[in-house]
Amino acid sequence: MASNTEPTFNEDELLEKIVSGEIPLRKIDSYTDEDTAVRLRKCAIEKMECVKFEHIQNYTIDAGSATKRNIENMIGAIQIPLGVAGEIKVNGEYANDKFILPLATTEGALVASTNRGCSVITASGGANVRIFQDQMTRAPVFKMDNVA
């Protein structure tokens, strides 16, 4: 959100100051609201790099929420293809059923490969799951007594 301590500029003035480097991309949010900052940042990059972003402004993400928690220097959003794998049988205390797994990816054959894995796991009786600690990690962590 715009700060009361920053000078006020109209959008054209802000755009020129961004393109000239007088206002850094990361500081635009100090001068205007989040949606306008996203649009101005995108326009500035288009001018500075002589490119045209035709589709990244067409999104349903709440820019205000996203810029506070998920992304810095937002210029838009892109779509990623979403497929499904499964069903996979899960035998757990909190999840005990068959599930479909949505996967957002641009990697060819990933969904098909995951689907084959789901089929094998389900055919073998399902994945036995236990939660020992409820934490966030950057990659899957598997803890087991053996691999048999």
Per the structure, the count of domains in the chain is: 2
Q: 24-33, pLDDT tens digit by residue? A: 999 999 999 9
- Residue 123 and residue 63 share a domain: no
Domain that residue 28 falls in = 11-69
Q: CB neighbours (10 Å) of residue 88?
A: 20
Nearest CA among 145, 116, 120 for reference residue 130: 145
Tokens of 136: 């966030």
Position 75 in a domain: no
State pTM to two decimals.
0.63
Residue 34's CB: how many other CB atoms inside 10 A? 19
| Within-domain flag for 74 | no
- pLDDT, tens digit (0-9, with 9 covering 90-100), for 118-148: 999 999 999 999 888 888 888 877 777 876 5
| Other Cβ atoms within 10 Å of 39 Cβ, number | 20
Residues 62 and 86 in one domain: no
